Structure 1
């Protein structure tokens, strides 16, 4: 089968499409014929083989990808609830289901977590093997390109619901697809005002089309900081979504969050750590909430509801639908030009 893989050649990372064997399935797994995949920031980190991914990925060649939709092609001998031909996607956080964290229904935070496309081979291939416990049945009204973005949309749903944005002034730091999904969910959730701080005019224009004010922080960085820092209340935004994982992003979030406000820490640092002005968080009484993955399975149910009832709001974030063999163009869009929203590859 054709697959997009990360490999090491004389110690140097390469990403290429190559022929790989169709995966064999365990008794509690299914084999899925992939119909569509979408490219995530995590995939871009693997593509760049960042320090965080160098520590995580140990087996080569490694198949990338975790956001997908497809059809069951074969089932393991222990499978009874699924059949060949079922239209499915999967939760990418493969939890153990046995630890105290899982028993508290915080499966996305399981300490024994394995990530699809990171800790095991992913979906950027014609076929993928997936454990039964993370399968979700797709609504047949959703075409594969839309069904493939349920997982990242679920991230935004989980994040916005945790933040309780209704009638609040919010800032989104970052302009990538995750930030755009967060923006549209905040619009649907009736935030009072939504501002996006980013670098890329193409993406900021998408934000404006879905009802979000945007500020290009390259062009207006000083004006932005002057406008919101130094106000008598010490900040302006009730909730700040930090989507970048950068030191400048988290510092900006702390500076412009109002006293007693909330910062949603969504972005992950490529270097695992950043400097944080700890005292300022304490003195402003800011609550910092980490966000990782989705609530399993409640978030998925809400994401499907949004796709069914607000499809016209969500769909503009998908700016490129490319054939699978144009995967390199997809990564170039996401990493180099960044003139894209969500990029989907069709099999």
Structure 2
């Protein structure tokens, strides 16, 4: 089978022919990959940045967002059968730690990540444990099913609190931020403001339903938000991982507001907790992954009912063998979500 690998330490990937997986454990499932999408984690590994160097052990098949078809199952598998169309949770839990036993598998103490700690899905076939598989509704197109994992990030970040009738600021309009705009709208937010420095993505934010878009390189974010809202926003969804975006975003939150953090900052940051959080009575949530499988159920319903339209986020669908052009789009940030089509 063809697969995209981080074959050795250093920047870049390679596509090559490798052996198709044959041996399945009792609870393993062999998936024929139909679609796979490129995410920020794949870009980190492609660039071979400091995080990748400390985490990735080549050779490794990369990629972790996918939709595919079950073609073989282990002897103890009961949740899926041959022919089922599935997407996969990328957080692979141990199922034994206290977090797993108390409904928090997404923060398993012994968590492995698909395409990071074990072979991923940028291959014609992949093997995953049945624990992480989600049988998505047949009404959902494969292109959209392949991005249910990052869509779940947008849902978890947005819906950790009640957005009904709330004024929301989203800092960062990458693909997950764009998805969060639609989630906020579908969840009854009264106002959605989006902050982003990339003009192409600001335009996409408007297309995805933002009421106001702000480029903080051209406008003062704090002054602009208060001119729109008078008292600030009720909710901040931080998607950028940018220190100034976080600090300015906290300044924009009204007294007693709420903050949901998804962006990764890449190290420690210095903020005035006294004035920005404690004295304002702000509630903060740290978000990682998706709740298994509460978030997936919400994602399925939003897509099935077409309350969220991911055609405004999935901007490119390209053949698997032209994967290099997909990475070029992602590296240049000239796209929303890029999906690799294995059927072409």
> TM-score range, shorter-chain basis?
over 0.9
Contact 1:38 1:344 in 2 (8 A): yes
Instruction: Report how far residue 272 of structure 1 moved.
Output: 3.2
Contact 2:178 2:208 in 1 (8 A): no
Paired residue for 2:339, among 315, 321, 344?
A: 344
Contact 2:157 2:261 in 1 (8 A): no
Cα distance change on mapping 1:267 and 1:312 into 2, 3 Å = closer
- Which 5+ residue runs of structure 1 have no aligned equivalent? none
Paired residue for 1:129, among 127, 130, 134?
A: 127
Instruction: Report how far residue 289 of structure 1 moved.
Output: 0.5
SS at match of 2:163: coil
Root-mean-square deviation (CA), in Å? 2.0
Pairs aligned (count): 339
Cα distance change on mapping 1:230 and 1:282 into 2, 3 Å = farther
- Give the TM-score taking structure 1 as reference length: 0.92
- Residue in structure 2 matched with residue 240 of structure 1 by the alignment: 236
Instruction: Report how far residue 87 of structure 1 moved.
Output: 1.2
- Residue in structure 1 matched with residue 14 of structure 2 by the alignment: 16
Contact 2:183 2:308 in 1 (8 A): no
Contact 1:64 1:124 in 2 (8 A): yes
Instruction: Report how far residue 193 of structure 1 moved.
Output: 0.4
Alpha-carbon separation, structure 2, partners of 1:110 and 1:205: 38
Alpha-carbon separation, structure 2, partners of 1:61 and 1:167: 49
- Residue in structure 2 matched with residue 77 of structure 1 by the alignment: 75
1:222-261 per-residue CA deviation (whole Å, 9 max, x = no partner) reads 3x3333479998x611111111112122212222112211
Paired residue for 1:187, among 185, 188, 193?
A: 185
Say if 2:282 is the partner of 1:282.
Answer: no
Instruction: Report how far residue 50 of structure 1 moved.
Output: 2.3
Aligned pairs for 1:21-32 within 5 A = 21-23=19-21, 24-32=23-31
Aligned pairs for 1:44-55 within 5 A = 44-55=43-54
Instruction: Report how far residue 129 of structure 1 moved.
Output: 0.5
1:169-197 per-residue CA deviation (whole Å, 9 max, x = no partner) reads 11100010010011110011110100110
- Residue in structure 2 matched with residue 249 of structure 1 by the alignment: 245
Alpha-carbon separation, structure 1, partners of 2:108 and 2:78: 26
Contact 2:233 2:254 in 1 (8 A): yes
1:116-142 per-residue CA deviation (whole Å, 9 max, x = no partner) reads 111111111111100011111122222
Paired residue for 1:227, among 224, 227, 231?
A: 224
SS at match of 1:284: coil
SS at match of 1:163: coil
Aligned pairs for 1:106-255 within 5 A = 106-212=104-210, 213-220=212-219, 222=220, 224-228=221-225, 236-255=232-251
Cα distance change on mapping 1:187 and 1:228 into 2, 3 Å = closer
Contact 2:37 2:340 in 1 (8 A): yes
- Residue in structure 1 matched with residue 85 of structure 2 by the alignment: 87
Alpha-carbon separation, structure 1, partners of 2:278 and 2:229: 18
Cα distance change on mapping 1:245 and 1:80 into 2, 3 Å = same
Contact 1:229 1:255 in 2 (8 A): no
Alpha-carbon separation, structure 2, partners of 1:229 and 1:184: 23
Instruction: Report how far residue 313 of structure 1 moved.
Output: 2.7
1:89-138 per-residue CA deviation (whole Å, 9 max, x = no partner) reads 11111112222212221111111111111111111111110001111112
Contact 1:246 1:274 in 2 (8 A): no
Contact 1:7 1:13 in 2 (8 A): no
- Residue in structure 2 matched with residue 301 of structure 1 by the alignment: 297
Alpha-carbon separation, structure 1, partners of 2:271 and 2:238: 13
SS at match of 1:258: strand
Alpha-carbon separation, structure 2, partners of 1:287 and 1:144: 37
1:67-103 per-residue CA deviation (whole Å, 9 max, x = no partner) reads 1011112222222443222211111111122222122
